[in-house]
């Protein structure tokens, strides 16, 4: 796998939270189709295969994990 561009500063962050599914979608720029890689712990990184540019992050179980960490 080629290098993936991760650390470039991005100005246009967009996000959407699906409360029913407890999923947070974070997009860099406008949401677009991309390849997703499950990096564990309910986190999926989305990137453009052609350029290696990271274009989003999907976090599953955000509310559940936050509430659990507050109880500890």
End-to-end CA distance of the chain: give it in Å, rounded.
38
Task: Give pLDDT, residue 36.
Answer: 96
Q: Domain map of the chain by residue range?
A: 13-71
Q: What sign does the dihedral 24-59-57-10 (CA atoms) show?
A: positive
Q: What is the pLDDT of residues 6-61, one digit of tens each?
A: 556 667 889 999 999 999 999 988 888 999 999 999 999 999 999 888 999 999 99
């Amino acid at each position: 796998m080629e290098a993936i561009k991760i650390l470039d500063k991005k100005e246009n962050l967009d996000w959407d939270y699906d409360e029913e599914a407890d999923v947070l979608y974070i997009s860099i720029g406008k949401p677009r189709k991309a390849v997703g890689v499950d990096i564990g712990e309910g986190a999926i990184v989305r990137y453009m295969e052609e350029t290696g540019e990271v274009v989003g992050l999907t976090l599953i179980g955000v509310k559940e994990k936050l509430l659990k960490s507050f109880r500890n």
